[in-house]
Chain A
Amino acid sequence: MDDALVLCRLFHYGAAIFLFGASIFQWWLAPTAVARALDQPLRWGAGLAIPVVFGTALAWLALMAGGMGAGWRDTWDGDTIVAVLFDTEFGRVWQWRLICTVFFLGLLATGRHDRWPLTAVLSALLLGSLGFVGHAVMQEGGLGWVSRGSHLLHLWAAGFWLGSLVPLLILLPKLSDPALRSAAVITLRRFSRLGHFAVAIIILTGIVNTYLVLDRTSLSRPYLVILIVKICCVAAMIGLAIVNRYILVPRLGGRSNAFRLLRTATLLEVVLGIGVIGLVSALGIMAPM
C-alpha cells in the first residue's frame, strides 16, 4: 500500500507541476506568437494531466483511508473515507483540493483548459495546498505557519521551474524558425529572469525547512540518505541551469553545437526533476526519525 501511495503521489505531483508550470509559462512568459505556437501541444498535455490529477487525488484519499484505517479493505470503506475527509487535518485540506480538481474537470469538459490564467490559478491552489498536509504540518503554533508558508513557496517555485521545463523543451527547436526566433528569445529571457527568483526561493525555503528540522531530533538513516540524494539531484539541476544560462545560451548565435547541448541539458534537467519528484513522493511517507 505504501508503494501504491508513492506512485500515486508521484503522478499527482507530476501532473500538478506540469499544469502549473505550463500555464504560468503561457500566461506570463510567452509573447503571443510563442503562446500560439505552444498552445496545441500544451493543451494536449493539460488534457492528459487533468484526469491524472483528479484520479490520483481520489486514489490518494482512498490510500490514506486504508493507511489510517485497517489496510486495503478500508480504501473503499465509505465510513472510513468520510472520517478521513471530515475529521482529520489531511481531510480538511483534501476537501478543498477535491473541489479544485472537480473545477479542473469542468474546464476540461467544456474545452476551456487552455484558458491559461484559470488553469494557473487552479493548479497554484492544488500545488500550494500540498504544503498543508503531511510532514509540513507537524510543527505547532507560529512555527507551524512558518513551515506551511515555506512549503507553499517551495512548491510554487519548484513547480514553476520544473513545470515550465516542458514548454521550454518544446520551444527550443522553434529558435531556428525565423518567424518565431525573436519572440522565442524574449521568452527565454523572461524564463531566465523568473527562473532566478524561483531557484532563489527554492533554496531559501529549503534553508528555512532545514532550520525547522534541525530544531528537532536527529533524522533516521534511510530518510537522510534519500534526502541527501534529493538535494544532490537539485544541486545538479541548478548546475545544469547555470551552464545553460551562462555558457550555452550566450553562444546560441554562433556556429557551435550550443543548441544541441542546450536541448540535451534541458532534457537531463527534466529527467532529474522527475527523479526529484519521485524522491519527494517517497520521503513523504517515510518516518523521518
Chain B
Amino acid sequence: MFLIMLRRDLQIFLTALLLSFACANPAFAHAHLVSSAPAANDMAMPAPTELRLQFSEGIELKFAKVTLAGSNKKAVATGVVKLDPHDDKLLIVPLAAPLEDGKYTVDWEVVSTDGHKTKGEYSFESMN
C-alpha cells in the first residue's frame, strides 16, 4: 500500500506544488471609506440631519469615532454614533441640531472587524 501509493502521490504533489504558487493567504481590506452622505466636497442642500459613512468592511461600533468641525475648526455637537441595523459597514451619526450654512470637516477613525484601525477626513458644505 505504502509503495503502491508512491507514484500517484508524487503526481498529486507535483500538481499541487504548481498550484500552491498561485495560492494565497486570506487577504482582505482594512476598512476604507467607500462613500458618505453628504459626499466629500459636496454641497449639501438642504442641510443634512445626519452623517452616513459607508465603509468597505464591518466596523466595531465601540471603537468608532466621528467628529464634525465647522469652518472655524470648532467641534459641532453630534448624537451617539450608531451602526445601520442591517449593515455593519454603515455608520450613522445623528446631528444634535440642524447645521448652519458653511463648510464642515468630518474626521473619522474606525476599527474594522479584523481588528485594524484606519482613519481619514473629508469635508462638505452645507446650505439651507
A residues with CB within 8 A of B: 64, 67-69, 83, 87-90, 133-140, 147, 150-151, 189, 192, 196, 199-200, 203, 206-207, 209-210, 212-214, 216-217, 219, 223, 227, 230-232, 234-235, 238-239, 242, 246, 280, 283, 285, 287-289
Question: What are 20 A-B pairs at a CB distance below 8 A?
Answer: A67-B111, A88-B115, A89-B58, A89-B113, A90-B114, A90-B115, A133-B114, A138-B57, A138-B113, A192-B2, A200-B16, A207-B22, A210-B22, A210-B24, A231-B24, A238-B16, A246-B6, A287-B118, A288-B27, A289-B27
**B32 neighbours in A (Cβ, 8 Å):** 289
Would you call A246 and B115 a contact (CB within 8 A)?
Answer: no
For B28, give its contact among A192, A199, A216, A242 (CB under 8 Å).
Answer: A216
Query: In the bound complex, what is the Cα–Cα distance between A110 and B111 (angstroms)?
Result: 40
Query: In the bound complex, what is the Cα–Cα distance between A196 and B30 (angstroms)?
Result: 35
Query: In the bound complex, what is the Cα–Cα distance between A151 and B24 (angstroms)?
Result: 12
- B10 CB within 8 Å of chain A: yes
- Can you list the 3 inter-chain pairs with the closest CB atoms, starting with the nearest? A138-B28, A206-B23, A288-B27
Best-surrounded residue of A151, A203, A213 (most CB of chain B within 10 A):
A203
11 additional A-B pairs beyond A206-B25, A288-B29, beta carbons within 8 Å, are: A68-B111, A68-B117, A90-B114, A134-B115, A138-B26, A140-B58, A206-B20, A206-B23, A216-B28, A227-B27, A287-B30
- B107 CB within 8 Å of chain A: no
Q: How many cross-chain pairs have Cβ atoms below 8 Å apart between A and B?
A: 133
Would you call A196 and B28 a contact (CB within 8 A)?
Answer: no
- B9 CB within 8 Å of chain A: yes
B residues with CB within 8 A of A: 2, 5-6, 9-10, 12-13, 16-17, 19-30, 32, 57-58, 60-63, 111-118
Q: Secondary structure of the A side of the interface?
A: helix
Given contacts A68-B117, A238-B17, contact A83 B62 (CB under 8 A): yes
Would you call A235 and B17 a contact (CB within 8 A)?
Answer: yes
Would you call B28 and A83 a contact (CB within 8 A)?
Answer: no
Would you call B60 and A88 a contact (CB within 8 A)?
Answer: yes
Would you call B117 and A67 a contact (CB within 8 A)?
Answer: yes
Given contacts A64-B115, A287-B30, contact A227 B6 (CB under 8 A): no
Would you call A199 and B16 a contact (CB within 8 A)?
Answer: yes
**A238 neighbours in B (Cβ, 8 Å):** 13, 16-17, 20
Given contacts A88-B115, A138-B57, A216-B29, contact A210 B62 (CB under 8 A): no
Query: In the bound complex, what is the Cα–Cα distance between A234 and B21 (angstroms)?
Result: 9
**B118 neighbours in A (Cβ, 8 Å):** 287
**B116 neighbours in A (Cβ, 8 Å):** 67, 285, 287
Query: In the bound complex, what is the Cα–Cα distance between A147 and B10 (angstroms)?
Result: 28
Given contacts A69-B63, A287-B116, contact A138 B29 (CB under 8 A): yes
Would you call B29 and A287 a contact (CB within 8 A)?
Answer: yes
For B21, give its contact among A219, A231, A280 (CB under 8 Å).
Answer: A231
Query: In the bound complex, what is the Cα–Cα distance between A138 and B111 (angstroms)?
Result: 12
**A150 neighbours in B (Cβ, 8 Å):** 26
A273 to chain B, nearest CB (A): 15
**A217 neighbours in B (Cβ, 8 Å):** 29
For B26, give its contact among A135, A203, A242 (CB under 8 Å).
Answer: A135
Query: In the bound complex, what is the Cα–Cα distance between A194 and B76 (angstroms)?
Result: 63
